[in-house]
A and B are shown apart, each in its own frame.
Chain A
Amino acid sequence: MTMETGMQELLMEFLKTLPINIIIIILSAALGLLFAVLLTFVRLKRIPVISQLADLYVSFARSVPGLILLFIAYFGIPKVLPLIGLGTYVISPMHAAIISMGFYHSGYISEVFRPAYLAVEKSQHEAADSLGYTPMQKFFRIILPQMVPVALPGYGNALVYLIHDTSLIFAIGIVDIMGTAELSISRSYGINQILIYFIIALMFSAMCFTTDGLVRKLEKRVAIR
């Protein structure tokens, strides 16, 4: 096999495993968004104990390295759940990856949403109240449209960090694009290592570039409205 055909085959392998990264990114971003909304709500409401616990959650999720969170989800959850009476669970590597990335992402973007909410002037709340809006109407008609343009740049950054963190999932045996690269390097005893890493860098760059583009598009749309 010539080096050229070897590289072509490797590129095909990368493309075959790319959907794994994309699935993990989409699902953990969705899970993270859902948790972040709940967390931000709880933190802003200042409910005694619960708000403090939510603060602790955010601080923990943001300060612990991604690899450690991945190990905690994969090895720790099956140990902890029986202790709190929730039965025996075996978590697959894919689920552990989605849960840990979603956990990390939710902590990070909650810290984007909270200041975005606080950036909306108090007079806007008062105006909505004086017009007789219900809390739901006030949030969705007045506050959210002003929050989104403030939050979007930070949210875009959080998505980029999430994409970077998927490069760690091979540690628990998921063969994604980074895994394909590592396996290929190992099979050839490290020959072509730099070239393979360069291709991976381009692929991650492309994913971040696309995400960034989508967020910018959204930013423009929101700004016009």
Chain B
Amino acid sequence: MQLTKWAMASTALLVLAGAAQAEISGGVVKIGVLNDRSGLYADLSGEGSVVAARMAVEDFAGGLDVEVLSADHQNKPDVGSSVARQWIDQEGVDVIVDVPTSSVALAVQQVTSDTDTAFLNSGAATTALTNDQCAPTFVHWTYDTYALSVGTGKAVVEGGGDTWFFLTADYAFGHQLQADTAAVVEANGGKVLGSVNHPLSTTDFSSFLLQAQASGAKVIGLANAGGDTTNAIKQANSFGIVQSGQQLAALLGFITDVNALGLDVAQGLTLTTGFYWDRDDASRAFAERFAEKMNGQMPTMVHAGVYSAVAHYLKAVAEIDDDGGKAAVDQMKTMPINDFFATDGKIRPDGRMVHDMYLVKVKSPAESKGPWDYYTILATIPGDEAFKPLAESTCSLVAN
């Protein structure tokens, strides 16, 4: 009799233990921060995103056991997907965050959706992630090419820049950004005169800039990012392109780019951003904490997005006590997002996190009161206008 009791009790225990393991895999929530740690996007994502993820863990881990890993994907899709696969297979990583460089993000998307791993993207821009290649395990947090083109494209055309020539980074992101912006320009009565593609991580833009100059367009749209954008702007400056009457439109500019260029060169640029540190008390509080850990560097929108996404993910996982990719993301979709990054943000069925975007103008050196005081906010673009309407989504998860 005694024996059967023991047997039953231990079986029950085993079942319970088994059930508990099925909830939080391995008893630990492992967060993998995968981004560019050495190349042209290292400043805007890189170590800062790891710091932001750790801050979110400090604030929201609660009773969960959480671990943060990081790796460099070198902006190569094959490196990114093999790191992601190895993390998931060997380390038991439950969620992959950040992943700038659209081509790498698309490759990682394949891996995470195959393995039921959550993927919270802050750094990449292509809208393909929430359209043709959307996945139930995916959330696109910070911005995308559509939001950038709606903000900057519209503002520039309305300011009189109605003929455009594009300088485009030759990969998924650049092409998408150019296409989205061209659509906005044309919808607002502008005209696209031409475009030229340049390889990712270009150092010499002279031939591309000369083509842009020869086109006679009023606006040269830079459909690139990070080091490519700053290089293009610097070289355009030394060619005297702006002085001779053509306007540069950096379609994706981060505050680290402005910092790298200096206000002398960058002043007057119109940018669209998902976050500016000096917007309100909450954003300033976050930025100051961040800067303390990053030698005074202020967070980019990618860093802020990583914090916000990880915090929201941890809340959702704590709520359902399950770190399966689809389960966690489904739970995240039911909860509104209210923090320094987003007010009443919501995650749509296609994985797009909808929040307000800001149209900003870079200050002149005279206007700037101190280090990192770079932007004047011109307008707030409400989330529903900033992002592509759900009705137009080509995502298979959306019932259209």
Chains A and B form a bound pair: no
